[in-house]
Chains A and B, each alone.
Chain A
Amino acid sequence: MAAVMEQSTMPAAPEVRIRNLSVAYQTSTGLFDAVHKLDLDIPKASITAVIGESGSGKSTLAMAMLNSVTFPGSIRSGTIEYAGRGDIVTFDRERLRRFRGEHAAMVFQASQDTLNPLKRVGAQLLDLARSHGVKDKRKVLREARELAERMALPADRTLTSYQHELSGGMRQRVSIIFALALHPQIVLLDEPTTALDVLSQSHVLEIIREIHRERGLTTLLITHDMGVVAELSDRVVVMYAGRIAEDAPSRELLRRPLHPYSQALIRAIPRLTGPLDDAQALPGAPLELRQIPKAGCVFRDRCPARMPVCDTGTPELREVAPGRRVACHLEVTP
């Protein structure tokens, strides 16, 4: 399957190539896969979005991509190969440390306190530069200042601030400055606009779009918001219960979702125009780790198109058109 995909969908070699990735969490009742046998290629210089609800495994996937899954989770199997760098799963500690930040960096949610509350932003930036052996620390600060200005942050004040003196929107932008400080080629954005209101969101999305284009980054966007996907990404991977349900170019997916889950997800979005009845809630709730069935389709309990085969047969993620993969027993035509 992987071979087919490479030929037809990704003309250029992928920047990141994930194969058979399983990440499991140890609980008191056993070992459960948060990400299950996942195959994914992330093409160079594109924005790939991973969309899912709680328990979909999207954040675990992001952590795994930096090999920073923490206890009680662990990468059980699979490879995550970065073009020209090798399989990050096999990296030792020192190599990992250098890799993170210099080659691939993560922008965390604003609600997560990733800054040291007792240190000024500028000092932390210098710490980062120092720990990665950057010679020209002035340059790091200068670029940070430029970035801040562009993001409508008062540069000098921001760098001399403590975390608590920044608003949620400002913190999010500071987080972006940190991620870009060491010029990584790959940026992972974990719910970059979740804590923000619409206006700050539209502004942050604009910045991400610009910088992505300017620096030719390979960007992975983790989100639960179809609006963010539609505004930002070239391609979207819909995840459910640790598996890929559907993988398609963003506009195609919105225009014509093929998996019943994608369809329901899009239909559940309240819209600004059109009849209100167009929006419909999904029955049930997202699965928790230990509720994920071992056999059969993981979405079957909430699926309007459930068939007998869904109880027993696990649907393969198959290519239904160039660049479109779906994991569903239904006959689908894009």
Chain B
Amino acid sequence: MIQVVNLQKTYPGTRGVLARGEVRALRGVTLDIRRGAALALIGESGCGKTTLGRIVTGLEAYTGGEVLIDGANIAGMTARDRRAQFRKVQLIPQDPYAALNPTRTIAAALFDPLRLLARRGGKDGAWIERRAVELLRLVGLDASETLYKYPHQLSGGQRQRVVIARALTVEPEALVADEAVSMIDVSLRLGVLNLLSQLRRDLHISVIFITHDVAAARYVAQDGQTAVIYRGEIVEMGPTDDLIQRPVHPYTQSLLSAVPVLHGLEQAGPDRFIPRPTEQGESNDSSSCLFADRCPFADDRCKAAHPDPEPWAGAPDDRLVACFKPKERKVVAVPLSGRASNQ
């Protein structure tokens, strides 16, 4: 459904007092998401995952490589065609409150895009209202209690559901959820994550889930793929659960080691290590491994050459790893026996 090939994005450097060099947000990312599939993109802030999400939803331009939606290359399309293609890929942003116009009701937010569709399909006003109610029900909201409210009158979870319902108005083929639950109350997060899985199942919509919360990624992309991004490159990719339980790249292991352990309920994995913090002024030199400065296992070779993603033979399913010293480590927390607490 969505293919990106060797995608690159470089922000030009700035001049003046706060001058900085050009920033390479994406350094050649290749991905292929099929219809109805799930893909989680994980990495720390600034790694380029958000940029990738904005590019495939048409909100930002790219500087190299290719983006294909439904097999059609975006480059060379007329602006009108491009807009129509990108309408198939809808973004669910991090902050649902910012994504809704505070001066307009939920009804207005849903009716506008529906009116576009109605005009194209020769439907009437009654259809618009019916469809809005239907979509709200689909995302788990009761229309009679939400339709004529303003965004500030809803809870965080309800707002994010409204944003999802609005994205569904244009009948998209893929949703890109960028940290879509990080600003929602903990008790409501799981509900929204479940909703994304349910939409995938029922409507056959592809979901790209962008996050730094590996557990949430596991939840949404349970039967899909996870790609770990570091400084604009995919450093490891594979089936989600396999990747989490048996990470091979030291950066993936760092990310997983950093996940808090719920002491009392689980214990730290045997190989867990303390990840090194982000260094200031990391080298921008792509002739070495970009993670070498922070990698606890790096040697001279890592500083001399740049590893490319290669299949890793040690995993049962297909796994790509860009590392000279790949090694499986058990860093994920292990549950203590008997979760008696949860009845």
A and B touch in the complex (CB under 8 A): yes
Asked if B18 contacts A273 (CB within 8 A), the reply is no
Q: Given A152-B279, A227-B259, A230-B261, answer yes or no on A198-B193 (Cβ-Cβ < 8 Å).
A: no
Contacts of B44 in A (CB 8 A): 197-200
Select one of A167, A168, A272 contacting B215, CB under 8 A: A272
Contacts of A256 in B (CB 8 A): 340-341
Pairwise interchain contact A264-B187, C-beta atoms closer than 8 A: yes
Q: Counting CB contacts under 8 A, is B122 at the interface?
A: no
Q: Does residue A160 face the partner (Cβ distance < 8 Å to B)?
A: no
Given A197-B212, A198-B44, A273-B266, A268:B341 Cβ within 8 A: no
| Interface residue A154 (Cβ < 8 Å from any Cβ of B) | yes
Q: Is B256 an interface residue (CB 8 A)?
A: yes
Please, how many angstroms separate the alpha-carbon atoms of A54 and B215 in the complex? 22
Give which listed residue, A53, A199, A251, A266, contacts B278 with CB less than 8 A: A199
Contact residues, B185-225 vs A (CB, 8 A) = 185-191, 193-194, 212-216, 218-219, 222
Q: How would you classify the secondary structure of chain A's contact residues: helix, strand, loop or mixed?
A: helix
Q: Is B144 an interface residue (CB 8 A)?
A: no
Q: Does B103 contact A (CB under 8 A)?
A: no
In this assembly, does B257 line the interface, its C-beta being within 8 Å of a C-beta of chain A? yes
The listed residue with most B CB atoms (<10 A of its CB), out of A206, A225, A251, A273, is A273
A271 within 8 Å of B (CB atoms): yes
A273–B245 contact, CB under 8 A? yes
Chain A residues with CB under 8 Å of B101's CB are none
Assess A285 versus B263: contact at CB under 8 Å? Given A197-B45, A269-B215, A273-B333: no
Q: How far is the CA of A206 from the CA of B343 in the complex (A)?
A: 33
> Measured between C-beta atoms, what is the minimum distance from A256 to chain B in Å?
5
Name B45's contact: one of A168, A202, A252, A276 (CB within 8 Å).
A168
Beta-carbon contact of A198 and B212 below 8 Å: yes
Contact B222 A273 (CB under 8 A): no
B277 on the A face (CB < 8 A): yes
A278 and B262: CB pair below 8 A?
A: no
Beta-carbon nearest neighbor of A165 in chain B:
B18
Q: Which of B218, B254, B263, B274 makes the CB contact (< 8 A) with A272?
A: B218
B341 touches A276 (CB 8 A): no
0/1 interface trace, chain B 277-289, chain A, CB 8 Å (1 if under):
1111100000000
Given contacts A255-B265, A285-B157, contact A230 B186 (CB under 8 A): no
CB–CB B185/A272 < 8 A: no
Q: Is the CB of A54 within 8 A of B156?
A: yes
* B342 in contact (CB, < 8 A): yes
Whether A286 lies near B187 (C-beta < 8 A) is yes
With A225-B186, A274-B335, A276-B219 known as contacts, the answer to whether A269 contacts B278 (CB < 8 A) is no
Is B65's CB within 8 Å of the partner chain A? no
Q: Which residue of B lies closest to A257 (CB)?
A: B341
Task: Give 1 or 0 for each of A271-315: 1 = CB within 8 Å of chain B CB.
Answer: 111101011111001100000000000000010000000000000
**Binary per-residue interface labels of chain B (248-283) against chain A in the complex, 1 for a CB within 8 Å, 0 otherwise:** 000000111111111111100000001101111100
Residues of B within 8 A of A185 (CB): none
